[in-house]
Chain A
Amino acid sequence: MSVDATPALDAGPDPEQQTALRRSGRYLATHPHWVLVFVLIVLILITGMIEPNYLSVSGLRNSALFAAPIGILAAGQTILMLTAGIDLSIAMIATGAAYFAANQSPNGPVLAIVGALVVGIVAGALNGVGVGVFQVNPLIMTLAMSGILLGLFTEWAQTIFAGSTRMNDFIRTLGGGSFFGGRIPWAVVVWATLSLLVVYLLRRSGFGRNLYALGDNTVASRLSGVRSWQVLLAAYTIAGVFGAIAGILLGGRVGAVDLQLAGVFLLPSVAAAVIGGTSIFGGVGTYTGTILGALILAVLNSMLNFLGVGTAVQQMLYGSIIIGLSWLYTRIAATQ
């Protein structure tokens, strides 16, 4: 191809190094999943070297348990990022859903779960109406929604939710329990089921195709007859529901709810999608990539825990990863 023949035009100081960067960049761009699988395996091995016990059923299970809520939140982010959107309220939705679940916990698991899902549906649909119908910028819409929810739940924590901090046993098992001799966490089963659904939806459904089209060229999609506001409403509602499900699992794993329950998972939910190759600008990405991204973050989390690195530093790292990869992917896109 003619692209290969033009390194001389590069302004960079070292053409050879540039070409190598480009080559690997292009390989990464065309075979992103293999690179991610490779990174994941290397990270697991390094973590195993730091702490040999990690390479055991319980060590890997802990990583999977940690990855599940991130992966579910990141499913919402992936769907929205394909449309060039994002949900910054998803962690607050998760926390609120967990509160409702705890509040309804004395009334049995069904009501607890339904209560949580309603929070996700309502908050997600409101985001969808804001972005899809009133065309509010997604960052603004969901950031504001996050603020509103935080205020609401802070208020309610003292009143309606006073005392509702303990989770129903069923939900505790769902969020933190395992089966098959303690090998497979229930949360991973929930995640795997949702994953199949999401991958299928994105690859094989008309809805999925419309998400990609809207993210690539909103005007062309609308003029072609894509009902953009309906697609966006559905997408934000689905993200809200995924937020609620992640909230149920997180609340179940911790066993109790407080206002800080899901906040630390916002950055990783975006990071997982970005690591997986989903573009913030829309139209590009797969959920398979995001799944690998979530697993990589979970292994990284275990590694950092073994090294005694705290949550604060971990958040800094997630932020840096997002910035670094966004830069790298933009560079790759520019050289193609």
Chain B
Amino acid sequence: MTEPILRCEGVSKHFGAVQALYKVDFEVASGEVMALVGDNGAGKSTLIKGIAGIYPFDEGQILFDGSRVRIHSPRDTAALGIEIVYQDLALADNLDVVANMFLGRERVANGVVLDEASMESSARETLDSLAVTTLRSVRQTVAGLSGGQRQSVAVAKAVMWNSKVVILDEPTAALGVAQTRQVLDLVRRLADRGLAVVIISHNLHDIFEVADRITVLRLGQRVAVFRREETTQQEVVHAITAGTLNVVPGMQKDEGYA
């Protein structure tokens, strides 16, 4: 196993009385697709948001490429080469595809003026390299795109920045069969290029199609990590619903699943 590029060690997070994460370890290596699964409220999004710098963790540390890093804002995450695709929060509808891909990191020619030509060619290059062929024009506003096209744009936006880690929070949740196919193919291609990919999904069928490893969270704790070829959907489902928990301070008892 190669050294993980991104690793969380013993991270915890609580919101008031809710212990959303408790001493969670999580890692992903370059070139692999790591799936993150768990029931509603298991803490998947919270883990991602901690890595993103939206809510800092209460304890634990984040290691990137072997060294400890401090993340305070989404810009810090991006500066490390970690890009996150949020399900509904990825794009501004009134801007075109190119403007969205460069949002917040616009290229300017002489200090102020947007360098549209160079942004457009980079955007097109990235979309082509990912074989995103369903877009008619990179100058159309994203308001008019289908769910799959939007997701493709969001993913392309994430990889354009020479990122090393791409995290996708439920990228296929709102998509139909063909569009899900597109996005999963895209995910596989990213990993084949050597990127580390984390994908959150409730659809085990999709996950068994693309993931190399599967991390299971349950009630804010990591209860299992599986290699895809060594496990079955039943085993993963069992871990999601009844994986063994450590005792959390203040927690009464396991809620009677096991």
Interface size band for A: 20 to 34
**How far is it, in angstroms, between the C-alpha of A217 and the C-alpha of B54 when the chains are bound?**
17
Any A CB within 8 A of the CB of B55? no
Q: Tell me the minimal C-beta distance from B87 to chain A in angstroms.
A: 11
Does more than half of chain B's interface fall in helix, strand or loop, or is it mixed? loop
Interface residues of B in 69-113 (CB under 8 A from A): 74-75, 78, 84, 86, 89-95, 99, 103-106, 108, 112-113
Number of A-B residue pairs having CB atoms within 8 Å of each other in the complex? 75
**How far is it, in angstroms, between the C-alpha of A224 and the C-alpha of B94 when the chains are bound?**
15
Given contacts A221-B104, A222-B74, whether A216 and B114 have CB atoms under 8 Å apart is no
**How far is it, in angstroms, between the C-alpha of A226 and the C-alpha of B78 when the chains are bound?**
12
- CB-based contact B104/A284 at 8 Å: no
**How far is it, in angstroms, between the C-alpha of A217 and the C-alpha of B93 when the chains are bound?**
8
**How far is it, in angstroms, between the C-alpha of A215 and the C-alpha of B95 when the chains are bound?**
11
Given contacts A204-B114, A205-B112, whether A221 and B52 have CB atoms under 8 Å apart is no
Given contacts A204-B113, A206-B108, A209-B114, whether A217 and B91 have CB atoms under 8 Å apart is yes
**How far is it, in angstroms, between the C-alpha of A220 and the C-alpha of B89 when the chains are bound?**
5
CB-CB nearest in chain A for B84: A223
Given contacts A221-B104, A225-B105, whether A209 and B91 have CB atoms under 8 Å apart is no
**How far is it, in angstroms, between the C-alpha of A205 and the C-alpha of B114 when the chains are bound?**
5
- CB-based contact A225/B104 at 8 Å: yes
- CB-based contact B94/A216 at 8 Å: yes
**How far is it, in angstroms, between the C-alpha of A227 and the C-alpha of B86 when the chains are bound?**
18
**How far is it, in angstroms, between the C-alpha of A284 and the C-alpha of B94 when the chains are bound?**
8
- CB-based contact B94/A206 at 8 Å: no
Residues of B close to A323: CB separation below 8 A: none
CB-CB nearest in chain B for A282: B94
**How far is it, in angstroms, between the C-alpha of A223 and the C-alpha of B85 when the chains are bound?**
9
Q: Tell me the minimal C-beta distance from B191 to chain A in angstroms.
A: 23
- CB-based contact B91/A210 at 8 Å: no
Given contacts A210-B104, A212-B95, A284-B94, whether A223 and B86 have CB atoms under 8 Å apart is yes
- CB-based contact A224/B103 at 8 Å: yes
**How far is it, in angstroms, between the C-alpha of A212 and the C-alpha of B102 when the chains are bound?**
13
Residues of A close to B84: CB separation below 8 A: 223
Residues of B close to A205: CB separation below 8 A: 108, 112-114
Given contacts A209-B99, A217-B92, A284-B94, whether A223 and B113 have CB atoms under 8 Å apart is no
- CB-based contact B94/A212 at 8 Å: yes
Residues of B close to A209: CB separation below 8 A: 95, 99, 103, 106, 114
**How far is it, in angstroms, between the C-alpha of A61 and the C-alpha of B92 when the chains are bound?**
42
- CB-based contact A213/B112 at 8 Å: no
Any B CB within 8 A of the CB of A160? no
**How far is it, in angstroms, between the C-alpha of A206 and the C-alpha of B109 when the chains are bound?**
10
- CB-based contact B78/A225 at 8 Å: yes
Q: Tell me the minimal C-beta distance from A137 to chain B in angstroms.
A: 21
CB-CB nearest in chain A for B85: A223
**How far is it, in angstroms, between the C-alpha of A283 and the C-alpha of B93 when the chains are bound?**
9
Q: Tell me the minimal C-beta distance from B171 to chain A in angstroms.
A: 15
Write out, one digit per residue, whether chain B residues 150-166 have a CB within 8 A of any chain A CB (1) or not (0): 00000001000000000
CB-CB nearest in chain B for A210: B104
Which of A215, A223, A227 has most B Cβ within 10 Å?
Answer: A223
Residues of B close to A284: CB separation below 8 A: 94
Residues of A close to B54: CB separation below 8 A: 223
Any B CB within 8 A of the CB of A35? no
Residues of B close to A133: CB separation below 8 A: none
Interface residues of A in 263-287 (CB under 8 A from B): 283-284
- CB-based contact A221/B74 at 8 Å: no
Residues of B close to A216: CB separation below 8 A: 92-95
**How far is it, in angstroms, between the C-alpha of A326 and the C-alpha of B103 when the chains are bound?**
29
Residues of A close to B113: CB separation below 8 A: 204-205
Q: Please provide the 3 A-B residue pairs with the shortest distance between their CB atoms, ordered closest to farther.
A: A225-B104, A206-B106, A226-B104
Q: Which residues on B are within 8 Å of A, measured CB to CB?
A: 52, 54, 74-75, 78, 84, 86, 89-95, 99, 103-106, 108, 112-114, 157
Task: For the A-B complex with A224-B104, A225-B78, A284-B94 known, give 17 more contacts whose Cβ atoms are closer than 8 Å.
Answer: A204-B113, A205-B114, A209-B103, A212-B94, A213-B99, A216-B92, A217-B91, A220-B86, A220-B89, A220-B90, A221-B103, A221-B104, A223-B84, A223-B89, A224-B74, A224-B157, A225-B103
11 A-B Cβ contacts within 8 A? A206-B108, A207-B112, A209-B99, A210-B103, A213-B94, A213-B95, A220-B91, A224-B74, A224-B104, A225-B78, A283-B92
